[in-house]
Amino acid sequence: MKKSLLLSSLFVASLSQAFDFGSALSAGADLLQEKKTPTPSPTKSSQTTSLSNATVASGLKEALSSGVAYAVKTLSQDGGYLASAVKIPLPDNLAKAESLTRKAGGGKMADDFIRSMNSAATQAAPKTAAIFANSIQKMSLDDAKKILAGGNEAATDYFKKTSNTSLKAAIKPIVQESMKSNNVAAYYDKVNAFYKNNVQEMVQSSGLMAMAKNYGADAYIPSASESNLDDYVTQKALDGLFRMIATKESQIRQNPVAQTTSLLKKVFGN
């Protein structure tokens, strides 16, 4: 009897352990399966696909508007262009001759000309805000999703590609007006004349020009500038604004601190 009871007890204990062991195997299998097929964490792409085109477009427009406000405010300050990374340099041909012009005593003229161009761009900057705002509103819903998936400056690049010509046409009269008040053309003429009278002959009379022509490199020899000054300053002023807008867009895309509204957080937040 005792022997039978003992065997029964052992059988129950073994059975209990078998059930526990089976549970452990089952739990282990589940754990392994979870490790093999982890639940994917939401990515930027999966998060934004749930947003409507209208929301994405609104977010991009807000980011660009924020960029325009930043660019206009920064470049409208006294010395905004001149003291920044988007400083407008001498036109190409005169830029090649800048070091020679300065060595020949034309440094002040060059500085005055550069200052006048940058002052004109600074003076024009605040008047461009409304033109930019109008262009931003024309962004289509279809383009919004593509832009969002692009690089850190995708919206600015798209904006630049599609609106540069119309913006240039709209901004040019503003820049021309600012150039008149800053005597840009007069400074330009002085530098150009100084180069022709004091530097150009020195370059052409040397063996440098002949040597350059022999190697097909005479196009790189400094010469008096024939650039259309209005177009040059207008495009450089616009390039500077675009660059500053791109800087702000990149910050909004990468830095949560720059996502200052709920809409920006929704569209660009991680």
Give the C-alpha separation, 27 to 33, whole Å.
Answer: 10
pTM: 0.72
Supply the pLDDT for residue 244. 94
Please enumerate in sequence order all residues whose Cβ is within 8 A of that of 222, keeping only pairs 6 or more positions apart, or say none: 93, 94, 96, 97, 100, 195, 199, 200, 203
Supply the pLDDT for residue 207. 54
Other Cβ atoms less than 10 A from the Cβ of 82: the count is 17
Residue 223, classed as helix, strand or coil, is coil
Q: Taking the domains of the chain in order of start, what are their residue ranges? A: 1-39, 54-268
> How far are the Cα atoms of 95, 128, 235 from residue 134, in angstroms, in the given order?
35, 10, 19
Supply the pLDDT for residue 75. 96
Q: Do 253 and 260 touch, CB atoms closer than 8 A?
A: no
Give every residue of the chain whose pLDDT is below 70, as ranges: 1-50, 200-227, 270
62-102 confidence digits (pLDDT tens): 988 999 999 999 999 999 999 999 999 998 878 877 888 88
Supply the pLDDT for residue 220. 41
